[in-house]
Amino acid sequence: MEVVVIVLQSLLALMFLMAGMGKLSGSKMHVDNFDRWRLPQGFRVVTGLVELIGAAVLIVGYWDTSWTALGALIIGITAIGGVLTHVRIKDSLKQTFPILLAGVLAWIVFGYYASDLSNFPGFN
């Protein structure tokens, strides 16, 4: 089971590295999406930073699983916000599915490592 969770962790880190970099670089797709969602472009930058931080924390988690739990939590909460954004403007399931799937994967990874979060540096 641990190998499956590590694969999910790797997929999430890669997905959110790419998404975060796209948002921060101001790719046309992300700029257009934030306009369509009626969200300010400054929020695109903040979202991109949060996604990059979540991905980086997941990568650190290869060496310390308490970081994996934190990274998955950050991405899981971000995904909830993404799903709510799609629901708010009544996007189709096809448009909502990628962030919904990422959220489910993040919560699976978090669930697997949640007990390790108590070992996070500074918590003990």
pLDDT confidence bin for 119, thresholds 50/70/90:
confident
**Residue 63 reports pLDDT greater than 80:** yes
**Residue 42 reports pLDDT greater than 80:** yes
User: How many other CB atoms are found less than 10 A from the CB of residue 37?
Assistant: 15
Sorted by sequence, the CB contacts under 8 Å of residue 44 that are 6+ apart come out as 23, 26, 30, 31, 34
**Residue 124 reports pLDDT greater than 80:** no
pLDDT confidence bin for 103, thresholds 50/70/90:
very high
pLDDT confidence bin for 2, thresholds 50/70/90:
confident
pLDDT confidence bin for 120, thresholds 50/70/90:
confident
d(CA 37, CA 41): 10
pLDDT confidence bin for 1, thresholds 50/70/90:
confident
- pTM of the complete model: 0.91
Provide the pLDDT for residue 17: 97
CB 76 within 8 A of CB 107: yes
**Residue 59 reports pLDDT greater than 70:** yes
